[in-house]
Amino acid sequence: MCNIKGILVIPDKLNDIYAFDSIISLEKEIYVKSIHTLDMSSVSFIEPYSMTNLLLIARRYLKNTGNRLKLTQIPLPIHQYLTRMNFFKYPVFDEPEPLDSKKMLSRSTLSKRILEITEIPNLERESVRVISQAVSLFRRRGAYILKHWFCPDTVNYFVTVISEVCQNVFEHSMDSGFLALQTYTYNRENVVRLVIADSGIGIEESFSAEQKRTYGTGSALIKNALTAPISGKREFGYGLCRVNSIIKEMKGNLFIRSDRSSVAFVYNKGYSDNAYSFLKDDLEPFSGTQISISLYG
């Protein structure tokens, strides 16, 4: 909703990957109504997927208009969290007045249950270096991040997932992306969420016209990329298929949104070896590919 000219009040929909579609549907209002400020006063909680995709919205706005969006009326806990996650490190928003050092969240050992937002470049050499650094940091913090799921295999699984999905950014998207990871408690449930998102060409566009015709819808193509070794770049591509196998082994959730389509595979609800899957098409368009991987416990 927009109560004052040029200001868009962000609804309290940053707490869940599915609720974030409400924010995507508002993106076009930013341009149609000449919005320059996002009012965050209604936001009570923000999780990594929503936070990362807010950055993508602001980055697109800067690219399209040459101006930065402004955030205002940020509740203190949200401001503390965004600052801790290095959200304002990337100059796509007009940064609000910095927090007083006494109000910043600690960076002690007890707060190492995160991987701060990291930009994944779209150039191979730079991207390999950044991915290597992210993997090394994750290994150092793995015992904290995966406290409720910890075992050596889980750490190695996450290392593989981070490497595979981040590699897709520079191989397929033709754009840079962002990575973020955090363990948190929501509705009395422990959650670890890894997010890797970009504003690139999207999954459908990375495949050939023949492949797109074969699978018909965007969600069907994404589902097949997750369940069979198909690739838009290599003849035998195992990236997303391998990632899906790992999420299945960990009994987690995998969500992919690309342009107008999304696929969710749910393995953690006591189902059999087969995923409980949700496929959607004709969604509000959102450039690129956004991937969320979650464990619950």
Q: How far apart are CA 224 and CA 246, in angstroms?
A: 16
- Contacts of 131 by beta carbon, 8 Å cutoff, 6+ apart: 120, 162, 163, 166, 167
DSSP-based three-state secondary structure for 191: strand
Residue 236 has a pLDDT of 35
pLDDT digits (tens, 9 = 90+) for 210-265: 666 677 789 999 998 898 875 545 443 458 899 999 999 999 999 999 999 999 99
Q: What is the CA 37 to chain-centroid distance, rounded?
A: 23
pLDDT digits (tens, 9 = 90+) for 97-122: 777 766 666 555 446 889 999 999 98
Residue 269 has a pLDDT of 61
Residue 2 has a pLDDT of 54
- Walk me through the domains of the chain, giving residue ranges and CATH numbers: 7-103 (3.30.750), 107-297 (3.30.565.10)
Percent of the chain with pLDDT over 90: 65
pLDDT digits (tens, 9 = 90+) for 196-206: 999 988 888 87
Find the mean pLDDT for residues 78-91: 93
Angle of helix 218-227 versus helix 239-250 axis, rounded to 10: 70
pLDDT digits (tens, 9 = 90+) for 16-65: 999 999 999 999 999 999 999 999 999 999 999 999 999 999 999 999 99
The yes-or-no verdict on residue 293 having pLDDT over 80 is yes
Find the mean pLDDT for residues 167-191: 88
Residue 270 has a pLDDT of 57
Find the mean pLDDT for residues 75-91: 93
**122 or 271: which carries more pLDDT confidence?**
122
The yes-or-no verdict on residue 73 having pLDDT over 60 is yes
Q: Where does the pLDDT of residue 68 fall: very low under 50, low under 70, confident under 90, or very high at 90 and above?
A: very high
CA distances from 58 to 68, 70, 88, 93 (A): 7, 9, 11, 6
Mean of pLDDT over the chain: 87
Q: How far apart are CA 166 and CA 159, in angstroms?
A: 11
